Amino acid sequence: MRIAELMMALVMSVFSIYLMWKSTELPIGWIPEEGPGGGAFPFWLSVGMLLCCVAILFNWVRRSSPPSRSEEAYMDREAVYLVGVVVVSLTAMIGAIPFIGVYFALPLFMAFYMRFLGRHSWRLISGFVVLTPIVTFMFFEIALRKTLPKGYTEPLFYPLYDIFM
Amino acid sequence: MEIFGLLADGFLIAFEPLNIGLVIFGAAVGLFIGAMPGLGSVNGVAILLPLTFLVPPTSAVIFLGAIYYGAMYGGAISSIMLGIPGASTAVATTFDGRPLAMQGKADQALIGAAVASFVGGTISVILFTLFAPPLADVALAFGPPEEFALMLLAFATFVGLGGDDIPKTFFSILIGLVLSAVGLDIISGEPRLIFMDVPGFFHGINFLVLAIGIYGIGEMLWTIEVSRGNVTMSEATVTVRRTVDALKRMAKSWKTMVMGSVLGYFVGILPAAGATPGSLMAYGVAKSMAKDGDSFGKGNIDGVLAPESANNAASTGSMLPMLTLGIPGSPTTAILLGGMVMWGLEPGPLLFVDHTEFVWGLIASLYAANFFALLINIAFIPAFIAVLKLPFTILAPVIFGLCVVGGYVPTQDLHDVWLMLIFGVVGYLMRKLDYPLAPAVLAIVLGPIAEPAMRQSLIGSQGDLLIFFNRPISGTIMAISIILILMPLYKHLPFGRKKEAVE
């Protein structure tokens, strides 16, 4: 936990400095007749972020915040495994959306999650896999008229567009 | 009385078939979300907001308001049956609700929670009806300096009253504000903070991306980690006779409920406080008020009634500053506020002038939501208990799916879905290190309002910072904010600490 606290504060300090540098792309000073420049607001806020990180690091050295005292593991092995599997599968799903579209990526993700982490029966899973795209399509594309990305599977939807749109 | 006429008109709007249907549906959905361990009103409102594009804005806000209410009722169900708070707002309900359930009195605790929620909701909506119009009248005189001072006050309450690590609270507020500055500069129109020149940053970072990231993805990751252990469920026997007995017993505790409601309402108005501390405080006061204070924690029904009336009252309380001043009183109302801005219903005093029907329709719908949440809650207690048995491995992928699609829909850009995932994961990692995340969500909603308010004030005053101090209202608010910010810092100073040591 102690190491994680240090790492987070360091990463965030670097991020604050990056933000400060990025803000200076716009004027951060006072422009006559116009008021503060466009970069001023984010610049001073990032300075504040950096100061907060310094304070967090200071507390870390003094061991005055609970996470900087804790000798407990930041995440135990099981937590790393569970959260890791979920994050990786989410990443894979979002990464797959531009290619196979929401209507295939989403059911695949759900099937994987329910089977691999939940050990549910294939019968239950297939129910979800079939219903999810239908409900999603009806709600978002037909009722809300918001097109979801379909990637290479777009042609499969032409007949549906003809009926509903 | 003008208020009653307006309220009557409001009821006509709330009882339009679509709206009343949404109130009932929203209350049921809220109960369901509240009952799920780990999910509360803020998660429900964040994840479901993109779905409400289906209906007109007024109905959408009414629906989300009903979810907010229902979730406050529902939170008690898992607190009592599982001993795990269904939402952080129901933590105090576990103290006595769980022991009652262990003694086989789960039904009494559940009915008590429902009735207390109803009392809390009703008293607070009445207070709301009386307080909102005068407050909005006062707020009509506000200019940019007052607006900015109010925003500062909202953030200052997190620092002064939030009770979290101070540098981390500041950090959370600041990062939220910086993220809100991404996109096109509001005044000069120039692009700014376009990270790595990715075109997706030009349209800015929608508050929903951060809200769904933190309260959808991040919260689910958190729940996955925490809920590994097995939970034992209590049994509840619900019969008409036992219900009547429970109600008779509760009539004696009306004082506790009124106290909880009034306390919860006023605590709820403060942005940093809200329903969780409100319910904990109500529990504490009820304990010290009671003659048999020792029985608290061992299954005293008053220990359920006080926090449950307070958390519902607080949820109404948090709507007061949101509607009248445009500053949200809780993370849930922050998301509601963001939604309202998106729909062109800019919250603030003008709302009461320009969108009278909307305001009163919403207030009337809160009365209705309260009533239906009570009915649904009592009638379907067994059904909501069954909800608790639903395996998390079915619910989680469905919610993740909703998050991904919901994150995509507002801007129709996959870039935002990626950002949402990053915010979710980073938010989860930061939460483990005690970084409070609610201030960041509040900040990203308020940032686009606070920045122009500050810049317009400074343009008006030719760069003189004193403009925030020498106007009476803004000066007072600024002074309170500064005291709130300095309060915890004082303890960190060498002489502040010495004093403590001497004492």
Q: Would you state the structure tokens that stand for residue A69, as one six-digit string?
A: 């005292």
In a shared domain, residues A88 and A156: yes
In a shared domain, residues A85 and A62: no
End-to-end CA distance of chain B: 55
Residue with tokens 């009509």: B140
In a shared domain, residues A87 and A16: no
| B-contacting residues in A 80-119 (Cβ below 8 Å) | 82-83, 86-87, 90-91, 93-94, 97-98, 102, 106, 109-110, 113-114, 117-119
Question: Which residues in chain B have their CB less than 8 angstroms from residue A113's CB?
Answer: 393, 396-397, 400
Residue B368 in domain? yes
| A-contacting residues in B 396-455 (Cβ below 8 Å) | 396-398, 400-401, 404-405, 408-409, 412, 414, 417-418, 421, 425, 428-430, 432-435, 451, 454-455
In a shared domain, residues A87 and A138: yes
Q: How many residues does chain A have?
A: 165
- Would you state the pLDDT for residue B197? 80
Side chain identity at A128, as an amino acid letter? F
In a shared domain, residues A23 and A85: no
Asked if A29 is an interface residue toward chain B (Cβ–Cβ < 8 A), one would say: no
In a shared domain, residues A118 and A61: no
In a shared domain, residues A94 and A53: no
Residue B498 in domain? no
In a shared domain, residues A82 and A144: yes
In a shared domain, residues A52 and A84: no
**To the nearest whole angstrom, how far is the Cα of A47 from the nearest Cα of chain B?**
9
**How many separate domains does chain B show?**
1
Give the pLDDT band of residue B21 (cuts 50, 70, 90).
very high
Give the pLDDT band of residue B3 (cuts 50, 70, 90).
confident
Residue B250 in domain? yes
Tell me the backbone φ, ψ of residue A36, rounded to 5 degrees. -65, 145
In a shared domain, residues A89 and A51: no
* pLDDT single digits (tens) B85-137: 777 788 888 889 888 888 888 888 898 999 999 999 999 999 999 888 888 88
Q: Average the pLDDT over A28-56 and give the result.
A: 84
In a shared domain, residues A82 and A8: no
Asked if A133 is an interface residue toward chain B (Cβ–Cβ < 8 A), one would say: no
* pLDDT single digits (tens) A117-128: 888 899 999 999
Sheet strands (E) in B31-185? 183-184
Side chain identity at B272, as an amino acid letter? A
Asked if A123 is an interface residue toward chain B (Cβ–Cβ < 8 A), one would say: no
Asked if A47 is an interface residue toward chain B (Cβ–Cβ < 8 A), one would say: no
**Which CB contacts under 8 angstroms, 24+ apart, belong to B196-205?**
B198/B415, B199/B415, B200/B413, B200/B415, B200/B416, B200/B419, B201/B415, B203/B411, B203/B413, B204/B180, B205/B179, B205/B180, B205/B416, B205/B419, B205/B444
Structural domain boundaries, residue A124:
77-164
**How many separate domains does chain A show?**
2
Residue B18 in domain? yes
Structural domain boundaries, residue B261:
2-490
Q: Average the pLDDT over B6-31 and give the result.
A: 91
Q: What is the mean pLDDT of chain B?
A: 85
DSSP assignment of B445-488: HHHHHHHHHHHHHHHHTTT-GGGGTSSHHHHHHHHHHHHHHHHH
- Would you state the pLDDT for residue B185? 80
Domain final residue, candidates A39, A69, A99: A69
- Would you state the pLDDT for residue A145? 81
Residue B279 in domain? yes
Distance of alpha carbon B341 from its chain centroid, rounded?
17
Whether B446 contacts B151, CB under 8 Å: yes
ipTM: 0.93
Residue B501 in domain? no
| Contact flag B397-A110 (C-beta cutoff 8 Å) | yes
Residue B292 in domain? yes
In a shared domain, residues A15 and A88: no
**To the nearest whole angstrom, how far is the Cα of A155 from the nearest Cα of chain B?**
20
Residue B113 in domain? yes
User: Which residues, in sequence order, are bridge partners of residue A30?
Assistant: A36
* pLDDT single digits (tens) B165-223: 888 999 999 999 999 988 888 777 788 888 878 888 888 888 889 999 998 999 889 88
Whether B360 contacts B10, CB under 8 Å: yes
- Single pTM value for the model: 0.85
Is the pLDDT reported for residue B370 higher than 60?
yes
